[in-house]
Amino acid sequence: MNTLSASWHWLTDPAHWSGDDGIRSRLLQHLVLTVVCLAVSCVIALPVALVLGHLGKGGALAVNISNVGRAVPTFAVLVLLLLTPVGKWGEGPTVVALVLFAVPPLLTNAYVGMREVDRSIVRAARGMGMTGRQMLLRVELPLALPLVMTGVRIAAVQLVATATIAALAGGGGLGRIITAGFNLASTPQVVAGAILVAGFALIVEAVFEIAERLAPHWPRGSR
Amino acid sequence: MTAPPHDCLARNDWICGAYLSTRRQILLDAVVQHLRLTALSVLIGLAIALPLAVLARRWGWAAGPVLALTTILYTIPSLAMFSLLLPLYGLSATLVVAGLVLYSLTLLVRNILAGLRAVPEETRQAARGLGYGPIRLLLTVELPLALPAAMAGLRIATVSAVSLVTVGAIVGFGGLGNLIYAGMNTYFKAQVLTASALCVLIAVAADLLLLGVQRLITPWTRAGRARAPARRRRSRTGLRGARAGRA
């Protein structure tokens, strides 16, 4: 309990919230990193997955990319990128590594979601004379939306987690508070940082959960 | 390597034969530590997950809280998890194992529970009709039928554990992660690349090994009706799999 109260003191000390390496700026860095990388990954992964799912091709690719992604340690990729020329552009390695790790769940879930749309509905849409594009946008995508959103949610939570590891390799974000705490041998600071990161991850998960509850029910109702 | 002795180390090349031959012992020690941490955490995770899943199956009301708790644990980033457990275990290998056990729980409980729930009701009734008691039913009918799903979870948990062990470098018990961390600070390219490649190799080897074990202990899944279960399994691992690739 001693450590916990010490961490609480650390967290509530206003001096730790301000400044360039204060909690406020680290939170902001973490948020910006997560949002930017999520946006980039969605732009890269979703169109590819939706078109592949629509055409029904590349399923093995979509699933295997996800399996490979799991086997490659984030930390190793970060350090490898850091030692390549990419490492010279500030947050470059972090952004590239984060995007690499967010793409597989997006790709897999969007693809699986598109494939799990009831084939008879798709055939009915075709029978009504819809073009491929109309079928993709008006029929398959709305029905696949719950799974696509699950992928986005997984990617977002994963980004929060990976952004933490980036601090080990010199990147910014909340993980920095933890690594700095380790270097100072200050357990209260380490635990305080961990509480912040865990809270951040849980809030992101909760935001998606709430958005899912509030979203229109028709896509789920029809499944 | 055709380069003169020590040259590729001096040039700091990515791929360096001299590194492999001079640091063989260090690499071997790191691999052994990596394997021990992974195996220990997955086995402990399995030992905790199995009773949890069985209890959640037996009493429906327990399933919600068990799944919610393990999911919340899974959401916490690994670096934060290790730090949160720090006051409990200090800077030790136990800390890394404890963190990894908590992660493998989510994957294992979910998959074992899914496997148990997928056992057809007629099968259970048939077994009861043959005079099977609840324990015999669990051990000889339900658990074997849940094996394919459980093994899928075990494979994901193992592969994730292999890659998460590297983060243990922050407390000095990260197996190959230690070499990556040290290599990062000294800008030692050969060490970082070799250790990273070994990590991936271990993950792939462990996955293949478990796949082999799965085939050996569930011969019935390959007999005759391989089509439908294969399709089901793929879509399931697709979703679960995506859930798992994390840091």
Provide the angle, in degrees to the nearest 10, between the axes of the packed helices A59-71 and B189-217: 120
When mean pLDDT is compared over A89-98, B84-93, B121-130, B169-178, the highest value belongs to B121-130
A220 lies in some domain: no
Q: pLDDT tens digits for B8-28?
A: 777 778 888 778 888 888 899
Q: Tell which residue, B112, B104, B113, has the closest CA to residue B70.
A: B104
- pLDDT band, residue A218 (cuts 50/70/90): low
Q: How far apart are CA B59 and CA B61, in angstroms?
A: 6
Provide the angle, in degrees to the nearest 10, between the axes of the packed helices B143-165 and A59-71: 60
A41 lies in some domain: yes
A219 lies in some domain: no
A117 lies in some domain: yes
A108 lies in some domain: yes
Residues 153-192 of A with CB under 8 A from B: 154, 157-158, 160-162, 164-165, 167-169, 175, 178-179, 181-182, 187, 190-191
> What one-character-per-residue DSSP string does A121-186 give?
HHHHHHHTT--HHHIIIIIIHHHHHHHHHHHHHHHHHHHHHHHHHHGGGT--STHHHHHHHHHTT-
Q: What are the distances in angstroms from CA B21 to CA B6, B16, B176?
A: 11, 9, 17
Which range marks the domain in which residue A138 is found?
3-214
Statement: B17-218 belongs to CATH 3.40.1390.30: no
Residue keyed to tokens 């669990």:
B138
Q: How far apart are CA A160 and CA A158, in angstroms?
A: 5
Judge whether A37 is closer than 8 Å to chain B, CB to CB.
Answer: no
Enumerate residues 6+ apart whose C-beta is below 8 A from B50: B108, B112
Q: Which residue of A has its CA nearest to B159?
A: A71
Please say if the pLDDT value at position A116 is more than 80.
yes
Which of A73, A109, A168 comes nearest B170 by C-beta?
Answer: A168
Do B70 and B106 contact (CB within 8 A), yes or no? yes
- Write down the mean pLDDT value for chain A: 85
Do B85 and A195 contact (CB within 8 A), yes or no? no
- pLDDT band, residue A216 (cuts 50/70/90): low
Phi-psi region of A57 (alpha: psi -120 to 50; beta: other; left: phi over 0): beta
**Number of domains chain A is built from:** 1
Residue A109 burial by CB count (10 A; 0-12/13-18/19+): exposed, middle or buried? buried
Angstroms from B229 CA to nearest CA on chain A: 16
Q: pLDDT tens digits for A190-202?
A: 889 889 999 999 9
pTM: 0.82
Q: Which whole number is the average pLDDT over B149-176?
A: 91
Q: Which residue of B has its CA nearest to A190?
A: B83
A222 lies in some domain: no
Judge whether A32 is closer than 8 Å to chain B, CB to CB.
Answer: no
A93 lies in some domain: yes
Q: How far apart are CA A183 and CA B66, in angstroms?
A: 36
* Residue ranges covered by each domain of chain B: 17-218
- Write down the mean pLDDT value for chain B: 85
Judge whether A105 is closer than 8 Å to chain B, CB to CB.
Answer: yes
Please say if the pLDDT value at position B52 is more than 50.
yes
